[in-house]
Amino acid sequence: MSSAAVVVHSPEYFCDIGPHVFPVEKFAMVRAHLVNRREIAAGDILAPAPAPRADLLTAHTPEYLDDLDAMRWTHRTRMSELPLTAEIVRAYKLAAGGTTLAARGALERGGGINLGGGFHHASADRAEGFCYLNDLAVAVRVLQREVRIRRAAVVDLDVHQGNGTALIFHGDDSVFTLSIHQEMNYPTPKADGTLDVGLDDRTGDDEYLRRLDAALEAVWNFRPEIVLYQAGADPYVEDQLGGLALTLDGLEARDRRVLEGCARRGIPAVVTLGGGYARRLEDTVAIHATTCRVALAAAAAGARDRSGPPETPAASPAPPGRPA
Ligand SMILES: [Zn+2]
């Protein structure tokens, strides 16, 4: 199966975090959901390598990375709400490598999907929440370092503000950070991103999509060369850690606004999963899978637009990475 989007996953995104509200088993479940429904072929899924230290240093400080490698509880790591083990640190390095690999693929093919990542609370020198390494920031900075892109946008639609991403890119006018989130929720205080939209408790589909449309206009006007989409499933009405009231249809409409909007404008888009703590784990998995399905369709439509008549071959080489 040839696709206009690269799909990335590692079985080692799963790591033992003990009894926890964060369902780390969801990564493999989303993968299985997509493969079982033939949305993607297992043989097409790329497995990332852990992000090398040089890549992590584009977004994080050496002191903080040293703490992670030594599994040390310090003022830099103690805001984490996860244990700190070698397996967990490796999972976060893999997620950063995965989002970077998906972003490289998106530049070549039009779309990239990391079936993980979106760890937007991690800042340059600090863990926070369920986030040790900010895969979104690492991917943007690595592509900028290689001069593959200059301008990037992070569209963060998790129910929680993307404070780590905002802090990392604060004062950097080459990166537009949009966060649309529930105002009265974690984190407190919020960080200043390029555009922050704090929504009232119980905001539903119509109001959400109206605010999203307005915010996306600002993103398109910025003319990013790539969009990294943090597609958190936690604005869902049944989420345990969220207080917005989006339905499954509303979340799919949200995904279409972002991903079809990118495809229409020829902007490569990269999906990361972000949060998701629905009372029923199947709902979280279904929301993420829908995002991926929308991303695959949008990237395919974008590729057709670029290649002209349908009989024109649009094949492009796969990016580096070994099959999963
Ligand atoms: Zn969240």
Average pLDDT of the segment spanning 261-284:
98
**pLDDT score for 70:** 98
**pLDDT score for 306:** 81
The residues whose Cβ lies within 5 A of ligand 1, an ion, are 158, 160, 232, 234, 275
Q: What percent of the chain has pLDDT over 70?
A: 94
Average pLDDT of the segment spanning 177-188:
98
pLDDT value at 141 more than 60 = yes
* DSSP-derived 3-state class of residue 233: coil
Burial of 98-107, coded b for 16+ CB within 10 Å and e otherwise, reads bbbbbbbbbb
**Residues 156-175 pLDDT 10s:** 999 999 999 999 999 999 99
**Residues 200-249 pLDDT 10s:** 999 999 999 999 999 999 999 999 999 999 999 999 999 999 999 999 99
**pLDDT score for 26:** 98
pLDDT value at 2 more than 70 = no
**pLDDT score for 307:** 81
**pLDDT score for 323:** 52
The angle subtended at Cα 197 by Cα 149 and Cα 111, nearest 5°, is: 35
How far apart are the CA of 114 and the centre of ligand 1, in A?
A: 17
How far apart are the CA of 275 and the centre of ligand 1, in A?
A: 4
Beta-sheet strands, E only, within 146-215? 152-156, 175-182, 195-199
Q: Please give the positions annotated as active site.
A: 121
How far apart are the CA of 315 and the centre of ligand 1, in A?
A: 36
Q: Give the span between the Cα atoms of 258 and 137, in whole angstroms.
A: 19
**Residues 7-22 pLDDT 10s:** 999 999 999 999 999 9
**Residues 291-321 pLDDT 10s:** 999 999 999 998 888 887 655 444 555 555 5
The angle subtended at Cα 149 by Cα 148 and Cα 155, nearest 5°, is: 135
**pLDDT score for 309:** 62
Q: Give the span between the Cα atoms of 231 and 257, in whole angstroms.
A: 12
pTM for the predicted model, two decimal places: 0.94
> For residue 157, what are the contacts with CB-CB under 8 A and spacing of at least 6?
180, 212, 229, 230, 231, 232, 235, 254, 258, 274
Average confidence score pLDDT of the chain: 95
**pLDDT score for 1:** 43
How far apart are the CA of 311 and the centre of ligand 1, in A?
A: 42
* DSSP-derived 3-state class of residue 123: strand
Residue 231: φ, ψ to 5°: -100, 55
